[in-house]
Structure 1
Amino acid sequence: MFKIIERRYLWFLISALVIVPGLVSIALFGIPRSIDFVGGSFFELAFAPDAAVSEVDLIQAFEDYGFDAPPQVVTATDPETGATRYQIRARAISSMAELQGIEQTDVKAGLYAALEERFGAFEELQFADVGPSVGRQVTQNAAIAVTLASIGILLYLTIMFRNVTHSFRFGVIAITAMLHDVVLVLGVASIMGHFFKWEVDALFLTALLTVIGFSVHDSIVVFDRIRENSGRMRGLPFERVVNHSVVQTLDRSINTQLTAVFTLMAIYIYSQGQLKTFLFWLIIGIISGTYSSIFNAAPLLVVWNNREWNTWFGRGKDAEAAIGA
């Protein structure tokens, strides 16, 4: 039989090695948020291959038109047409329109006319405008959604496992495993944002909530088997019961998640734009959720049951006798 629980500190170390770089990145660089969260206007414009335009020229053009802060410009080349695409993030047009007392469409039309006069004809591939107040509201709603999900999970598992000793622990550890996955995804988002200029948007939030669902579902599957075996294997050490339960659910957990991951990877290969990044977050989160439910959640139950933290800080080996306390 696989000795998964016996090697629990190895699994914890692996989790730490994966999560710590992301935490360092968050501390140093933060998490790059799109206009969905901070507000602003997003333009994706395609110019002709021979157009005399550069990132510096576009920044200057926006400032000349009246944007009081220089926009952020990212350049890409369309592999099919050879046209140069510019992704531009600037101050919200809606805010400028409000200050000038005119319609948003008039501000946008005037900007496009100035750009066309300066650089020639171009094509708008994408445009979005989010006011600062809306961006703040999205951020608040995201925090509320995660908080409510955590409270709901805690209550649900406490009630569901009420016939098991210390049922509250199942809920707390499920949330801990969930936070492991959330922090890992946020860390990867920070790293990708710093090196590849990715940003988190509303779709990222959707992916994060989906990952939370997958993570909790995986943990519940393992916990439910522990609950069943706790009654069937009375008298055996709790660590052995947990290890047996994890091994019993191992094939199901891995096969189920691999099916989802392979499907998402197939779609990822042929997708583009926001859908591609959305699928990337899902894949990372689902893999993390599978790992945390098997190698973190169940072992943490044993750590809590044995009160092993008493030995971490040198309080004596007698704490090991506290099994079941």
Structure 2
Amino acid sequence: MDFVGKRNCFFIFSAILILVGVVSMSISPRFKVGIEFEGGSALSLTFAQAVDEDRLRSAMSDLGHGQAVVQRVGDTGVLIRTTTLEGPGNDGGVSERDAIEERLTEEFGTIEISELSAVSEAVAKETIRNAGIAVGVAALFIMIYISFAFRLMANSMRLGVAAIVAALHDVIITLGAFSILGKVVDLEVNAMFITGILTVVGYSVHDTIVVFDRIRENTARRVSRDMSTTINISIMETIGRSLTTSLTTLTVIVALLLMGGGTIESLLYTLLIGVIVGTYSSIAIASQLLLVWEERGMNPFRRREEAEA
């Protein structure tokens, strides 16, 4: 299969995916954000038996929390995310936490509130800032590592840039997918999502390095004097390994999602989307960028060829 010959089709397809995501992210609400990024409270409840989620949402709405997100955890567990719950106040009234417990006990029988967590708006903003810094620092060190690992090639920094561009491509598409899913099925962007994004970046770069390494080996073996042929052969030699690894990972992710996902649902969906897109980008984006640079007279393999001349 001629992957290199279809690079323009790959670029157009990626551009369409990114455009759809950007359009979704430009429409309010951009994302369905969790309390980690917006501030609020989370209640972890355990019921005596399985409860109907619609009835639970209705009960929360009666208490003034119509926007509450209800998420099933296992058979009898439920996680409720809502706005910050108020305390009893100076008048000695009932706290919102106690009011919720009383109302749900009347509706569903005995319940246990195993955890109540709250995040202020200030902490939420700090979390967003730290998440951005984490992704940026990870990208910088990945670029430095790849540049060092392929230092025998001319312009080795360009390989690092290609890998980061591919990873950025994966992150943007994943963000776009979450923006759409947040509007359709209330899928949240939360702390687990950030964990997933960092994992996706690492996964994408790892797949890209495998292809780059095979390109380097085939260049040293002089499989072909033509770079496009070398890249295409390298992709063909590594695609089986990449697909097998990705399918194995996806099987585990899907199995966990079918079991309910629970509090790591956002992480699982991030990995599901990211692994698929990351496998695609290592073949269709990162490797093709090297060829584009070659066609513009910037051959990343010239240093080795000159050294062997």
- Per the normalisation by structure 2, the TM-score is 0.81
Q: What does residue 205 of structure 1 align with?
A: 194
Amino acid at match of 1:258: L
Percent identity, aligned pairs only, is: 33
Q: What does residue 34 of structure 1 align with?
A: 34
Which structure 2 residues correspond to residues 1-325 of structure 1 after superposition, within 5 A? 2-29=1-28, 30-43=30-43, 58-59=60-61, 61-62=63-64, 72-74=67-69, 87-90=80-83, 92-93=84-85, 96-97=86-87, 107-112=95-100, 115=103, 123=111, 127-233=116-222, 236-307=225-296, 322=297, 324=299
CA-based RMSD of the aligned residues comes to 3.4
* Structure 1 residues 122 and 16: alpha-carbon distance in aligned structure 2, compared to 1, 3 A threshold: farther
Helix, strand or coil for the counterpart of 1:28? coil
What are structure 1's unaligned runs of at least 5 residues?
63-69, 308-321
- Per the normalisation by structure 1, the TM-score is 0.77
Residue deviations 1:176-211, cap 9 Å, x none?
100111111111111111011111111111111111
Residue deviations 1:116-162, cap 9 Å, x none?
69868563566431122221221111101100011001111111111
What are structure 2's unaligned runs of at least 5 residues?
301-309
**Paired positions, count:** 293
* Cα displacement (A) at 1:270: 1.9
Amino acid at match of 2:242: S
Q: For the Cα contact (< 8 Å) 1:73–1:86, is it kept in 2? A: no
In 2, Cα distance between the equivalents of 1:16 and 1:77? 36
Between stretches 270-279 and 139-148, larger displacement belongs to: 270-279
Helix, strand or coil for the counterpart of 1:163? coil
Residue deviations 1:205-227, cap 9 Å, x none?
11111111110100000111112
Helix, strand or coil for the counterpart of 2:189? coil
Between stretches 262-271 and 41-50, larger displacement belongs to: 41-50
Helix, strand or coil for the counterpart of 1:72? coil
* Cα displacement (A) at 1:115: 3.8
Q: For the Cα contact (< 8 Å) 1:26–1:187, is it kept in 2? A: yes
In 1, Cα distance between the equivalents of 2:100 and 2:257? 33
